[in-house]
Structure 1
Amino acid sequence: MDIISVRDMLNTMQLRGEDGELIPFSITFVTCDEKNDTGGNKITLDQAVLIGGPSKKTGGRNPNHFANYTRNIRHVDGDRIVKVHALLVTRFNGMRISQ
């Protein structure tokens, strides 16, 4: 069984192909919402891409993804954006995650 570090997983999420498009990845993570005391569901997306990145947009709330260790992703064929906490990811491209 292959293992990947959280750092390598986050770097791999940002990779782009020769056409400049983000390369899809598979990901399995556990949900958690401490504010509503819910979660514990395992979600698997077989073709996900990273959403967002640096922007010049001003105003609105800063999600501070780096400090909060979160990333926004979506399924390639969908439009629903999901916020994922990097430490709640259990598998990435078929590999287990090492903390």
Structure 2
Amino acid sequence: METPAPIRLKDALALLEGGAPVSVRFVTCDRRRHTGGEFRELKAARLGSGKRQAAEKLAPLPTGEKTPARLTKSPAHFANATRNLVDTTTGNLVKVHIYLLVAVAGRKVII
């Protein structure tokens, strides 16, 4: 079995914006709390809007769970090089630093 060809970061982001869910693997990092360094994988993810309502349309919350509070400030994704990914299997929003993406759609991400 051959390894798929690498994908450029620009093309990986375009693939995520396409709307079709793809698998994503990334590394966690939180410099403020000095945590991270763990690999996480989302089996089916796409770029999210950052609003809980959009995530609920993709995968509604189980009955009895309350929705979290809304975002109160702009996340400045482009200034911080982050994106919100929606895990379409669970409906959870995950903030990912784009330079910590390891693989998108099974292809290694290169800068």
User: TM-score band, normalised by the shorter chain?
Assistant: 0.7 to 0.9
Gaps of 5+ in 1: 16-21, 54-58
Determine the structure 2 residue equivalent to 1:76: 88
CA distance in 2, matches of 1:46, 1:76: 9
Runs of 4+ in 1 over 3 A off after TM superposition: none
Identify, as 1 or 2, the structure richer in strand: 1
Identify, as 1 or 2, the structure richer in helix: 2
CA RMSD, 1 decimal:
1.6
Percent of pairs identical after alignment? Answer: 35
Gaps of 5+ in 2: 51-70
State the number of aligned residues. 88
CA distance in 1, matches of 2:46, 2:100: 17
Please give the TM-score of this superposition, normalised by the length of structure 2. 0.74
CA distance in 2, matches of 1:75, 1:60: 22
Q: Which has the larger radius of gyration?
A: 2
Please give the TM-score of this superposition, normalised by the length of structure 1. 0.82
Determine the structure 1 residue equivalent to 2:28: 31
